[in-house]
Amino acid sequence: MFNLSSLLIPFFFLVAFFGYTTALTDRFAKEDGSTDHPCNPSSNAYCGGTWKGIENKLDYIEDLGFTAIWISPIDKNIEGDPAGAGEAYHGYWNINYEEYNEHFGTQDDLLSLISAAHKRDIWVMVDTVVNSMALVGPYDQVDYSKVYPFNKEKYYHPYCIIDWNKSDNKTNIQDCWQDSGVLLADLNVESSDVKKYLDKHIHSSVQQLDFDGLRIDAVKMMNESFFPDFVKSAGVFSMGEVFDYDPNVLCDYMNYDIGVTNYVVRLGLNFSFMAHDKFQPNKGFGTLKDQTELMTSGKCSNSDLGQMLIFLDNHDLPRYASYTDDQAIIMSAYSFAILWDGIPSVYYGQEQGFYGGLDPANREALWTSKYDQTNPYYTMIKTIVNFRKQVMKQDSDFTRHNYTIIEAELNHVAAKKRDVFLLYNNLGSKDNGTVYKVPTQYSENEVVSDVFGHRTLTVGHGGNITATLTSGYPMVLYPHTKLSDFRLPTINQTVMPTTAREKTTTVYTSFYSPTYSTRSFHGSQGLITMSSSPRAIPSFETLFFTFVFTALAFILFC
Ligand SMILES: *[C@@H]1O[C@H](CO)[C@@H](O)[C@H](O)[C@H]1NC(C)=O
Ligand SMILES: *[C@@H]1O[C@H](CO)[C@@H](O)[C@H](O)[C@H]1NC(C)=O
Ligand SMILES: *[C@@H]1O[C@H](CO)[C@@H](O)[C@H](O)[C@H]1NC(C)=O
Ligand SMILES: *[C@@H]1O[C@H](CO)[C@@H](O)[C@H](O)[C@H]1NC(C)=O
Ligand SMILES: *[C@@H]1O[C@H](CO)[C@@H](O)[C@H](O)[C@H]1NC(C)=O
Ligand SMILES: *[C@@H]1O[C@H](CO)[C@@H](O)[C@H](O)[C@H]1NC(C)=O
Ligand SMILES: *[C@@H]1O[C@H](CO)[C@@H](O)[C@H](O)[C@H]1NC(C)=O
Ligand SMILES: *[C@@H]1O[C@H](CO)[C@@H](O)[C@H](O)[C@H]1NC(C)=O
């Protein structure tokens, strides 16, 4: 069995991710590529996105630089709206593990998407629900024969509804059911029948469909002892949904072979860039510093930050852009999250400046953006992603190191890692220009380029720089000689237009992956080899282990 915590998942993993709690295969693209179909997120109904739709939009994802996508759960879900809680457009209300959600397409469509993605070296991570099956309530009227294969009461934990006020009671959280309008009947994963089926099913599903990674839903609501065997059976990198701000809780899950989403640093980003920490009002970027330190101490002190997903938006949180319409602040926070330690993840719509609030508003249909590849957010994300890819290509150790924060004050932060230097503030577009004198890792007289602002500067005495941030946009520095042969799209911060704020919904994420021609992958602790069985599809045979680590691996650059 492999132990994730001993691996490095390199990072670039942006995920074109549709999916997640409310995922959004349904919201990414229509099969015919049309962009005029209305989709009102608050109707909680299917909007018509499909696997074919995603396949037809792989250019859009590839052009952004993403190397992995995260798609919604694929299993058949509750049909219609029998509980008055909306339709299962997100894919989390599964009723049959052996049939597909036909709203998203056929098995052939799914195979076609995955194979088309692989041809572009884009890996596919599938969201998977193993905590529960969906039953129409109320409890005294549930009909187990409506679900398959767990069609008897005996496959479930005894009925009780989770009481979130008792979150320290594991039995309550892990074994009780959830009432989401439909009842999410809690599978008894401790029983050998259930466990054996789920392990076998995920194994054959990954083999048959050729998935590169799993995102496991509702991990906190499951017995953690379930995961090691499950992940081993899947044989691919697995990321668990652990929606928790406590670093000790997050890092503990990594002992069960799953990567996690870094909510701790996400919180620091949220408050620091918004210059508004309700708990510590005068802290500014000090909050970010505190949060990053939490992730390197306590139970996290030996955990691999490179296996944690770093993000701002997802389908469970109000979009970051819903808190402000200041583009400099939004772009600063988004770019910072793509460059920071971890696997960067972008939720579809960030690249179009979507700003939906709390679920379901954050689930806009991406087609309402007309997939504008000239949008300033799209350009910015593409630039930063390509920059990170270039750094990883030039420095195979980049992802094994952590950033060091040089200064973290109320209004600015400076940080360095290897050859990358970041200087950000939270003053926003109205800032007339603020001068910072900061020490760097560079040597005196070295010429460095600012990827964000397309300008160069010469490092001063003792390695210090004197830098002016204008209009709230950051400075992302890299030695000029290293960057010169790389044509990044130009971001002209002085002409960034204010994006029209139209309401829409969407989702995606992508992770950066390696190329399929490479067969190994460097973890933090060295080269990783997997002992999983070979893949069914010959051309991917040896690939298997590389990509266990998946998509994230970025082998291309190791
Ligand atoms: C949980 O606590 C909140 C706030 O004290 C209370 O309103 C709610 O009824 C409680 N829920 C349950 C299930 O007891
Ligand atoms: C979790 O699984 C273990 C091993 O099967 C079992 O001993 C324990 O009681 C389970 N915990 C809960 C909360 O069900
Ligand atoms: C924990 O929750 C379970 C399920 O609701 C309940 O049966 C049990 O009494 C609770 N234990 C404690 C110590 O409250
Ligand atoms: C993020 O920051 C905004 C603005 O300060 C705040 O309203 C919101 O509650 C924060 N959200 C999270 C999830 O921390
Ligand atoms: C990065 O931080 C993690 C978590 O504390 C730690 O285990 C690891 O050794 C650090 N990496 C380096 C290169 O210092
Ligand atoms: C920018 O300059 C203008 C004109 O001098 C001034 O009114 C405004 O307050 C300044 N803004 C900031 C954020 O310093
Ligand atoms: C560089 O900047 C630091 C921090 O501002 C300062 O303490 C130091 O004296 C500067 N070094 C030189 C050589 O100017
Ligand atoms: C950036 O915008 C400024 C102000 O509009 C303009 O003078 C400059 O030529 C632009 N630079 C590029 C590279 O487009």
Tell me whether the CATH fold assigned to 4-128+197-399+507-557 matches the one assigned to 404-495: no
Q: Give the number of whichever ligand sits closest to the CA of residue 169.
A: 3
217 is catalytic: yes
Q: 431 CB less than 6 Å from ligand 6?
A: yes
Query: Which protein residue has the closest C-alpha to ligand 4 atom 5?
Result: 276
359 compared with 485, residue with greater pLDDT = 359
Query: Which protein residue has the closest C-alpha to ligand 2 atom 13?
Result: 171
- Of 26, 175, 210, 217, which one is the catalytic site residue? 217
Looking at the DSSP bridge assignments, the partners of residue 472 are none
Residue listed under structure tokens 């971001």: 491
Q: Where are the domains of the chain?
A: 4-128+197-399+507-557, 132-188, 404-495
What CA dihedral angle connects 528, 530, 536 and 541, to 10 degrees? Answer: 40
| pLDDT at 443 (0 to 100) | 97
- Of 241, 252, 277, 446, which one is the catalytic site residue? 241
CATH superfamily of the 4-128+197-399+507-557 domain: Glycosidases (3.20.20.80)
Q: Does the structure show a pLDDT above 70 at 553? A: no
d(CA 334, CA 17): 16
What CA dihedral angle connects 120, 125, 127 and 128, to 10 degrees? Answer: 130
pLDDT, tens digit, for every residue of 287-331? 999 999 999 999 999 888 877 889 999 988 999 999 988 889 999
341: its two tokens: 């330690």
Q: 144 CB less than 6 Å from ligand 4?
A: no
The Cα-based distances of 284 to 212, 292, 304, 410, 437 in angstroms read 39, 14, 26, 4, 18
Q: Cβ-count burial of 278 within 10 angstroms (0-12 exposed, 13-18 middle, 19+ buried)?
A: exposed
Amino acid identity at 480: H
Residue 33: closest CA among 367, 374, 503: 367
pLDDT, tens digit, for every residue of 53-99? 999 999 999 898 888 889 999 999 999 999 999 999 999 999 999 99
Q: What is the pTM of this model?
A: 0.86
| pLDDT at 493 (0 to 100) | 65
The Cα-based distances of 267 to 90, 174, 201, 279 in angstroms read 25, 25, 36, 12
3 state SS of 51? helix
Topology, domain 404-495? Immunoglobulin-like (2.60.40)
d(CA 253, CA 308): 11
Which of 402-416, 476-490, 525-539 is the most confident on average?
402-416
Query: Which protein residue has the closest C-alpha to ligand 8 atom 9?
Result: 492
Q: 265 CB less than 6 Å from ligand 4?
A: no
Cβ atoms < 10 Å from Cβ of 327: 23
Which residues does the annotation place in the binding site for substrate?
93, 215, 316, 363
Backbone angles phi, psi at 89, to 5 degrees: -60, -20
d(CA 96, CA 422): 48
